[in-house]
Chain A
Amino acid sequence: MKFTLDWLGEFIDLPTTDPDEIAEALENLGHEVESWERIAHRFEGVVIGRVLEVGSHPNADKVRVTKVDVGDEILDIICGAWNFEAGAVVPVAKPGAVLQGDFKISQRKIRGITSNGMICSESELEVGEDEAGIMVLDNDYPDAAERLGQDFSTLLPADDIVFDVTITPNRPDCMSVYGLARELAAFYQIPLRPVDLEIDGGVASTSVTIEDTTACARFVGREVTGLTVGPSPHRIRSRLVAAGVRPINNVVDASNYAMIEFGHPTHAFDVDQLGDTVIVRRASDGETVTTLDDVERTLLPTDIVVADAARPVAIAGVMGGADTEVTDDTRAVFIEAAYWDPASTLLTSKRLGLRSEASARFERGMDPEFCRMAADRVAQILVETAGGTVGGVTDVYAERHVPVAIDLFMSEITRLLGIGFEPAEARSLLERLDFDVEGSDPLTVTVPSRRPDVHRPADLIEEIARLYGFENIPARLRFGTGAGLGTRERRIRSLRSVLVGAGYHEILGFSFIGAADLDALQLADDDPSRVGIRVANPLRDEEGVMRTTLLPGLLKAASANLAKRVDDVRIFEIGKVFLPGSGELPDQPDRLGFIAAGGSPPRWDAPGRGYDVFDATGLWDRIAASMRLDGCAVGPVRQAPFHPGRAVGIMRDGEVIGYVGEIHPAVAATHGLEGRVIAGEVQLDPVIEERAPWQFTPPSSYPPQVFDLAFEVKSDVPAGAILAAIDGAGRGLIEDRRIFDVYEGDPIPEGRKSIAVNLTVRAPDRTLSDDDVAPIRRAIVEAVESETGATLRGVV
């Protein structure tokens, strides 16, 4: 909420005018000051001037040429406004002035005549909303004519400052100048000026009936007659503008002014348009009312309305009706100040999507005891500013406020804050905030009706701590009994370091994607990743679906990097995907995803190299080895968006837990990716699940036997089959087997290939002799030949 220091000063005499100090005091009370601004800064270079002459412009119809006395000189100024004549006292922005919106005033020629500045309107100076004409000062400031040449700001409250304070939702009582004055009075221990707002008066001619006393505990109506509707005086308009409220007319302004001043929203009905009985009731199903914003609203029985005998005239606590709106012809008003139930106000404002300054306050809880004063304060202002006469009042207080009383034991304060308070000390702190306190331990504390947030001892302790000062509570370092990092966290960290060690950079991608992102993956129609959970209220379509796979984000990241000429892109992400589940919440498993594109560029010692599927399977092998994932198998697989012949599925316990390989060239192209792109996506849980500690194997101290075998085999026999056959026949003595050549072409017949393997065999307990190795070698050759249809080409 925004307000001026001058306004605050009506209720307290602050010990300082330093805005930083006041802001700090407010912050120490828990009211965050977003900003403060000296109003005078808005008017530098703006002075008071008197128009001496007004003449026509020889080359333009819509503007006039004036001579303006600004004290030390007479300026020729061209002006487009017509609401003044010679003799008017006006604000003049001289060349060099800078107005709101960084609008610099300079000497400039308009149709051949030089204008030396600008005569300003209220809105140009940000002191009002009137844009129709320039601001004629002698209307509001009779002494302005004696101050020609002085700064315009001298007319305003000296050095006035606008504060913008964020009020937390638990403190509706602070959504007013008076409420914050009360807080500051408690802080500085200075008196808060009491206000006398209630006006006597006879019985109003309009009767009030409350049918639903849960929704409306109290309804006060105050009549004011003999009004002349017109603009409010400048003092009211400028405070409203400073508070961010648009001045409308003196009646609406009075209601808004009183709301900012004391917090309680009111509404003024035009008495002549309102029937003489007012009923507060539930709306009937389908009933309509046109609100002040000229929208016809259809109501439900959960909505509360203010109605006369004929029709609803306002949606309770939310917005008034157009039928009974104050107009220029309004002569008398009926001012409503009610206590509207927070829950039902919220229900209606939310349902209608209609949130007003009033509804925001009623939703948080206004002070039922203040209704009469709220209505009467508006009446007071109308008497001052609209020539009104106070009429009768109706006050139906159906459900009287029952004060909350709380017993507060001193031991409870110690338990929560860690320091002890004497009852007298606690009592004095609470009394500074206008709590009624009796007894000693416990203190029996009666909560003011304006404090719906206080209902248990902890709430009182917060009040005590706040005024006592958090900085005065001593800190103590205590150690917990928690279990530490845990396996899961530790294993994820290990996994992350494997990827980092392999040259991959981690990203934190957004959790949502657009529906089009899934299409771009060219997934099969029945792919479960196609079924994304929709965000009900996304800000952008591109954020409309929860991601079902990490790949769209990774593909986009790779593409963005290549576009920026990053030549070797290696990126990974660990994060959740969201899939329809069977429980209350979506399934949200964690995944590991990676992508690499581009490649290492040529350098002095090595040629350039791109990525291919073996880099992808290599990364997986590294992960599997480092994370000790025994029992994972890989096999060829067809799975969008991967290349049908250059990708593998990763199997664990018979279940596919992920895919790694090259991205399908068509998908890569769709994402603007050139060359081979590798990627992978794997379920995280099987990778990071706890593993038994590895067990030490002493290395053999005996020499190995090393030999090579070359097989000729049909081209479509996978190398893996040959290795599997070798492993099966090795009698546990094969230490290493390494394919060192794969060859097709002359002299190998068409349709066949040669695979050459280098083998190292070694026994843990003895030196293997040639006689030991021969049968192993024979067994290997037999196994490979029988299992894969290969023939031994001979020892290479």
Chain B
Amino acid sequence: METTETLVRLKTEAPARIAAAASTEELDELESEIVGRSSPIAAGRRSLGQVPPEQRRDLGRAINDVAKELEALIAARRAVLASAEADAALADDAVDITLPSRIPSRGTTHLVQQVMDEVVDIFVAMGYTVATGPEAETEFYNFTALNFPPAHPTRLESDTLYLEYGDDPEGVLLRTHTSPMQARYMEQHDPPVYLVVPGRVFRRDQVDSTHSPVFHQLEGLAVDTDVTFGDLKGALDHFAREFLGTEIETKFIPHHFPFTEPSAEMHVYANGRWMELLGCGMVNPAVFEAVGYDPDVVTGFAFGIGADRLAMVRHGITDLRHLFDPDQRILEQYR
């Protein structure tokens, strides 16, 4: 009888206490008290042995029903409390997400290098090979093989930096253009040649907003049995559109280089005016003869692009000196 009364009381009182449990901790204690090992329910089950057999079955069922009902209430309450506690924990874990973020900082490739890589890629996509050559170069490859007459002004000590190396005081110089690689490459390879040469070049210039003793060029050379001036225009127009945008306007005007004939400059309309972007022309037969190609069999075109100038045109840099300034605040812009 006692058990039955206890069950009735439990069944009446416990639900309110479960509902009032304020934390999973409190609920755990309550659970232990209501359905745990020392709870009246556990006690009731233990006492079933002394209950007469004819009552045992009904009493057992009654205990189980109450236990099930209360356990279900506890589980439901636990779910509610756990979810609230998890939410509270997350709320506690919140941070000021406007604080500066954390990632190892990244460096930059130099802008002129980026430009050279990009131009190289444009020509590689057109079927060219990449090669590079020596910066300290012989007079022969820099001038004579390229059909520069002995009187050409660029040969002067006022224009070209010579090195104290070897017996001939004018024998070794800092290359004034990437064009020597035309001759070097053709000497070592049979036609056809489709070549692009990025590199550093030198002139005896004081540093100012448009001059530097060190700057960068990309040389191009295409030699085959049927390369024409039309191909030259096609290749360079394509380059200009790829590099400066499809809307870019170009024009070719006559010029003179000893190693091309006819020679031209390509101008582009940029920043509100026409500006010279590169020099080019059909390879002079004298150059073919100097490298052992037969000018009656092959024709070709060559071009030289100023990489620094390209960078300046595209990125709004008006002073060449910025490109050679190691100021990291400048370098960080080269993203």
Which A positions have Cβ atoms within 8 angstroms of B?
A: 27-30, 32, 168-171, 342-343, 346, 350, 363-364, 414-419, 456, 458-459, 461-462, 465-466, 470-471, 473-486, 489, 493, 496-497, 499-512, 533-539, 543, 546, 553, 556-557, 560-561, 564, 566, 568-572, 575-576, 578, 580, 584-586, 588, 603-605
Binds A, one of B22-30, B56-64, B123-131: B123-131
Report A-chain residues with C-beta under 8 Å of the C-beta of B138: 584-585
In the complex with contacts A484-B124, A571-B328, A584-B138, A508-B112 CB distance below 8 A: yes
**Which listed residue, A482, A535, A580, touches B162 by the CB 8 Å rule?**
A535
Q: Are A471 and B228 in contact (CB under 8 A)?
A: no
Instruction: Establish whether residues A475 and B234, one from each chain, have CB atoms under 8 Å apart when the complex forms.
Output: yes
- Taking CB atoms and an 8 Å cut-off, the chain B residues in 86-105 that contact chain A are 99-100, 102, 104-105
- In the assembled complex, how far is the CB of residue A172 from the closest CB belonging to chain B, in whole angstroms? 10
> B49 interface residue, CB < 8 Å from A?
no
Nearest chain A residue, comparing its CB with the CB of B228: A418
* 10 A-B pairs in the complex with CB atoms less than 8 angstroms apart: A342-B149, A346-B151, A473-B229, A481-B127, A501-B106, A505-B108, A505-B328, A506-B331, A588-B134, A604-B99
Determine whether the beta carbon of B228 is less than 8 Å from that of A416.
Answer: yes
Q: Which 5 A-B pairs have the closest CB atoms?
A: A480-B194, A418-B228, A30-B254, A480-B127, A418-B230
On whether the beta carbons of B327 and A605 are closer than 8 Å, the reply is no
Q: Known contacts being A484-B129, A496-B113, is A510 close to B108, with CB within 8 Å?
A: no
A480 touches B126 (CB 8 A): yes
Contacts A510-B324, A578-B136; A475 near B106 (Cβ below 8 A): no
A560 interface neighbour in B136, B153, B216, B327, Cβ under 8 Å: B327
Contact of A511 among B107, B202, B205 (CB under 8 A): B202
A318 to B152, CA, bound (A): 17
Which residues in A have their C-beta under 8 angstroms from that of B263?
30, 462
Closest partner residue, chain A, to B129 (CB atom): A482
Other A-B contacts than A346-B150, A510-B213, 12 sampled, CB-CB below 8 A, are A169-B149, A343-B151, A418-B231, A466-B262, A470-B251, A486-B131, A499-B107, A500-B109, A506-B110, A511-B135, A585-B134, A604-B100
Give every chain B residue within 8 A of A343 (Cβ-Cβ). Answer: 150-151
CB closest residue in chain A, given B136 = A586
Q: B331 — which chain A residues lie within 8 A by C-beta?
A: 505-507, 571
A476/B162 contact (C-beta < 8 A), A489-B130, A500-B109, A502-B107 known: no
Cβ distance A551 to chain B, nearest Cβ, rounded Å: 13
- Check A506 against B107 for contact (C-beta < 8 Å): yes
CA distance A421 to B113 in the complex (A): 43
- In the complex, what distance in Å separates the CA atom of A292 from the CA atom of B213? 34
A566 with B150: CB separation less than 8 A: no
Q: How far is the CB of A174 from chain B (nearest CB, A)?
A: 11
| Complex contact B161–A456 (CB within 8 A) | no
Name the CB-closest residue of A to B222.
A480
Please name all residues of chain A whose beta carbon is closer than 8 Å to the beta carbon of B104 when the two chains form the complex.
502-503
Q: When A496-B109, A586-B165 are in contact, do A478 and B102 touch as well, CB less than 8 Å? A: no
CB proximity of A709 to chain B, nearest CB, Å:
31
In the bound complex, how far is the Cα of B108 from the Cα of A500, in angstroms?
5
Q: Is there contact, CB below 8 Å, between B233 and A473?
A: yes
Contact residues in A for B233 (Cβ distance below 8 Å): 470, 473-476
Query: When the two chains form their complex, are residues B107 and A586 in contact, meaning their CB atoms are under 8 A apart?
Result: no
Please state if B228 and A415 are interface contacts (CB–CB under 8 Å).
yes
CB closest chain-A residue, reference B153: A169
| A534 to B, closest residue via Cβ | B164
List A contacts of B229 (CB < 8 A). 416-418, 465, 470, 473
Contact: A566 with B329, CB < 8 Å? Answer: yes
Chain B residues with CB below 8 A from A539, complex form: 204-206, 213
Complex Cα gap A636–B131 (Å): 37
Name the A residues within 8 Å of B127 (CB-CB).
Answer: 479-482
Please tell me which stretch of B10-18, B74-82, B166-174 contacts chain A, meaning at least 4 of its Cβ atoms lie within 8 angstroms of it.
B166-174
* Interface pair B328/A415, CB less than 8 Å apart: no
The interface residues of chain B lying within 8 Å CB-to-CB of A342 are 149, 151
Measured in the bound complex, the distance between the Cα atoms of B108 and A503 in whole Å is: 8
How far does the alpha carbon of A588 sit from the alpha carbon of B137 in the complex, in Å?
Answer: 10
User: Cβ of B45 < 8 Å from any Cβ of A?
Assistant: no
B137, B235, B262, B327: most-surrounded residue (chain A CB, <10 A):
B262
Given the contacts A476-B228, A566-B328, A470 and B234 also touching, CB distance less than 8 Å: no
Q: Give Cα A700 to B127, complex, Å.
A: 44
In the complex, what's the smallest C-beta–C-beta distance from B196 to chain A, in angstroms? 8
Find chain A residues with CB under 8 A from B252 CB: 470-471
Q: Chain B CB within 10 Å — which of A474, A489, A505, A509 has the most?
A: A505
Judging by beta carbons under 8 Å apart, are B136 and A588 in contact?
A: yes
Interface presence of B70 (CB below 8 A): no
Interchain CB contact under 8 A, B204 and A507: no
Q: Scan residues 195-244 of chain B and give those whose CB is less than 8 A from a CB of chain A.
A: 195, 200, 202, 204-206, 213-214, 216, 222, 224, 226-231, 233-235, 237-238
Interface flag for B157 (CB, 8 Å): yes
Known: A465-B262, A510-B324. A477 touches B234 (CB 8 A): yes
B178 within 8 A of A: no
**Is the pair B107, A504 in contact by a Cβ cutoff of 8 Å?**
yes
- The reply on B120 being an interface residue by CB < 8 A is yes
- Asked if B179 is at the interface (CB within 8 A of a chain A CB), the reply is no
B119 CB → nearest A CB, Å: 12
- A533 contacts across to B, CB distance below 8 A: 136, 163-165
Contact yes or no, A475 B214, CB < 8 A: no
Contact A508 B151 (CB under 8 A): no
A331 to B117, CA, bound (A): 69
Contacts of A466 in B (CB 8 A): 254, 262
The answer to whether B71 has its CB under 8 Å from any CB of chain A is no
**Is B253 a contact partner of A28 (Cβ separation < 8 A)?**
yes
A482-B164 CB under 8 A given contacts A28-B254, A170-B256, A509-B326:
no
Contacts of B226 in A (CB 8 A): 415
Residues on B with C-beta less than 8 A from A500 are: 106-109
Distance of A403 Cα from B255 Cα, bound (Å): 25
**Interface status of B270 (Cβ within 8 A of chain A):** no
Is the CB–CB distance between A416 and B299 below 8 Å?
A: yes
Q: How far apart are B258's CB and chain A's nearest CB, in angstroms?
A: 8
B residues near A564, Cβ cutoff 8 Å: 327, 329
Measured CA separation A86–B172 after assembly (Å): 67
Q: Which of A470, A482, A556, A604 contacts B194 (CB 8 A)?
A: A482
Nearest residue (CB) in B for A543 is B213
> CA–CA, A461 to B285, complex, Å?
12
When distances are taken between beta carbons in the complex, the residues of chain B under 8 Å from A30 are 253-256, 263
**B213 lies within 8 A of A560 (CB):** no
Which residues in A have their C-beta under 8 angstroms from that of B323?
508
| A465 and B228 alpha carbons, distance in the complex (Å) | 12
Task: Tell me whether B65 is interfacial, beta carbon within 8 Å.
Answer: no
Which residues on the B side are within 8 Å of A556 (C-beta)? 326
Given the complex, which residues of B lie within 8 Å of A168, measured CB to CB?
255-256
* Docked CA distance A500–B109 (Å): 7
Residues of B within 8 A of A474 (CB): 230, 233
Indicate whether B192 reaches chain A with its CB closer than 8 angstroms: yes
Chain A residue contacts of B231, Cβ below 8 A: 418, 476-478
Closest-by-CB residue of A relative to B105 is A503
* Contacts known (A502-B107, A585-B138); A415 close to B299, Cβ less than 8 A: yes
Given that A170-B256, A510-B213 are contacting pairs, would A561 and B153 also be in contact in the complex, using a CB cutoff of 8 Å? no
**Once bound together, how far apart are the Cα atoms of A483 and B130, in whole Å?**
8
* Contact present for B135 and A493 (CB under 8 Å): no
On chain B, the residues within 8 Å of A481 by CB distance are 127, 192, 194
Q: Is the CB of A465 within 8 A of B254?
A: yes
Most A CB contacts (10 A, CB to CB) among B137, B162, B228, B255 go to B228
**CA of A503 to CA of B332, assembled, Å:** 10
Give A572's nearest chain B residue, CB to CB.
Answer: B107
Instruction: Verify if B282 is at the interface (C-beta below 8 Å from A).
Output: yes
Which of chain B's residues have a CB closer than 8 A to the CB of A496? Answer: 109, 113
Judge whether A477 and B213 touch: CB under 8 Å.
no
Which chain B residues in 297-325 approach chain A with CB under 8 Å? 299, 323-324
Beta-carbon nearest neighbor of B331 in chain A: A505
Q: How far in angstroms is the closest Cβ of chain A from B326? A: 3
Nearest neighbor of A537 in chain B, beta-carbon distance: B157
